[in-house]
Structure 1
Amino acid sequence: MEERENVVSRTIKIVIGCILAVLYLVPIIMLLSAAFKTQKNIFKDIFGFPDPIVWTNFGEAMARMDYLRALFNSVFFTVISTILIIFFASMAAWVLVRYKTKMSNFIFTLFAISMLIPFQCVMLPMMSIMGKLNMLNPVGLIFAYVGFGSALSIMLFHGFIKGIPVELEESAMLDGCSMFGVYRQIVLPLLGPIVTTVGILNIMWIWNDYLLPSLVIGSNIEWRTLPLKTFYFFGQFSSRWDYASAALILSMLPIVIFYVFAQKKIIKGVVDGAVK
């Protein structure tokens, strides 16, 4: 009887999983189909197979959106912002764990609470302040990414650092190592698994972000990222869905490839941080 219940339960889970998979895949399939269709065929039958298959959509999309320049901008903002987030968040988490004061728990609680505040609530005040400080530029965008990405990163680092033996750091200090030296030579090398997780999570978020770059560098054409460039194909009175679909595929492809190779490390790093 118990074995039969297990089979029924497993079957129900498989059916639910298949339904959810179809729901998630349908938009992707529609996008792939539209990328190889003409504008006329898209409006005629969005779900149908491309007939004929149009390969020139990708070339036209790359030319119109200046793909290589936009790709460089996305890589630049993503890599620089992620490195700074890892550096500052890991140091902040280490100090909060190792150097306990009356304010340590309060500061950590503030970081946790900040994750509950929607970006839309601080969007207008932030833009006003950044405008007054003349930070509506690439540097300001990186600064904003570091600020918004630090809270979750600090929480992940915080949980992981608790599992690092404090005796290693004490021994280094007895040997005359400075505070920063202990962090750089002892703590940072031991943070490998969680550094990978934090890096991957921030890379995926920053790469796909549209709203923050549109607010900070929207008027700076030279520094527009791939998500901003795809907006070129949607006009006030008409939209080129054929080119836009191809552009969206080109924008998604690098991060999808990256995620496929990195997903195991994401799961491992999150589990390690939670256990420790």
Structure 2
Amino acid sequence: MNTSRSYNSRIFVAECLAILLALVFLTPFYFAVINSFKSFGDLLTDSAGWPKSWHPGNYSRAWSLLRFPRVFGNSLLITVIANAGLVVISAMAAHRMIRVPTRFNKGVFGLFVASMIIPFQSIMIPLVKVVSALGIQNSYVGIIICYFGFGTMLSVFLYHGYMKSIPKEMEESAVVDGCSPYGVFWRIVFPLLKPMTVTVLLLNSLWIWNDFLLPLLILSSPGLRTIPLAASSFFAQYTKQWDLGLASLVLGIIPIIIFFLAMQKHIIEGITAGSVKG
């Protein structure tokens, strides 16, 4: 009986701590949403309380000033193409490293892991010079290629751990039946990677969709701006329109929240399987 009570009390304490931690993480969302409905004057005098009068017009003004459909389309195009490329490149690379464990492949995987600790700020200037020399600066191609380069490390690492749980015998049986190497990967292996693929898609989508620094370095044309880059126009050196800026940021995070809620089951499954089986 005492053991049962002790166990229940531990669960209760753990749940309380989890709720408190969740509230801490939700605090920025509270401030962003609540203040996006305030007038600029109310926001400056009371940023924590509820609005004295609601101003949903902030969203329509932010929508028109940012040309939101345009910047939303830019963010969506870059995120979708970069994610598709990262999934294909990373999954195939991880499969090769797992199934052909040569010294070279092990060394390459070690380089992928080691490269994750390199700060992006330390390579910004060389990156801009290389992109400019290749003639792909201020273009969709340039920024998508950059996302390929910087996103492959984590994606390969996640796929590498998950693929260890896939029996090699399944692939050998497909080869005996006459399946080509690419057929084995796309018909046998890749469908089994669905949970981890969803996880990779979410993590990379969060990063690419919310990224500000890389688009700032690569994209200079107003017609190519992403949502974070466009929203920064409300925060100038001498004037900061917090009401419109927060409204634009709330508009920008809605698609990611919807994607996360729709794929939550697969995300948890992928992270759990990758950590336990890998």
TM (norm. structure 2) is 0.92
How many residues are paired up? 275
1:5-31 superposed Cα distances (whole Å, 9 cap, x missing partner): 445534443443343333222222222
Written as runs of structure 1 = structure 2, the 5 A alignment for 1:193-232 is 193-217=195-219, 219-232=220-233
SS of 2:51's partner is coil
Match of 2:239 in 1: 238
1:109 Cα deviation from its structure 2 partner: 0.7
1:141-183: CA deviation from partner (whole Å, max 9, x where unpaired): 1111111111111112112222222233223333443322322
In structure 2, the residue matched to 1:23 is: 24
Structure 2 residues without counterparts, runs of 5 or longer: none
Greater Cα offset, 234-243 or 54-63: 234-243
Report the AA paired with residue 160 of structure 1.
Answer: Y
Q: Which moved more, 1:180-189 or 1:266-275?
A: 180-189
Question: Which residue matches 1:170?
Answer: 172
Match of 2:190 in 1: 188
Deviation at 1:250, TM superposition (A): 0.5
AA in 2 matched with 1:179? P
CA offset at residue 82 of structure 1? 0.5
**Aligned Cα root-mean-square deviation (Å):** 1.8
The aligned runs of 1:138-153 (5 Å cut-off) are 138-153=140-155
Distance 1:36 1:100 in 2: 56
Please say which of residues 94-103 and 222-231 is displaced more in the overlay: 94-103
Structure 1: how far apart are the matches of 2:5 and 2:167?
Answer: 48
Note the alpha carbon deviations across 1:171-200, whole angstroms, 9 max, x for none: 333344332232222222222222222122
Is 1:95 matched with 2:96? Answer: yes
Report the AA paired with residue 251 of structure 1.
G
Normalised to the residue count of structure 1, the TM-score between the two structures is 0.93
Q: Give, in angstroms, the shift of residue 81 of structure 1.
A: 0.4
SS at match of 1:238: coil
Q: Percent identity?
A: 37
**CA distance 1:16–1:175, change in 2 (3 Å):** closer
- Of 261-270 and 6-15, more deviation after overlay is shown by 6-15
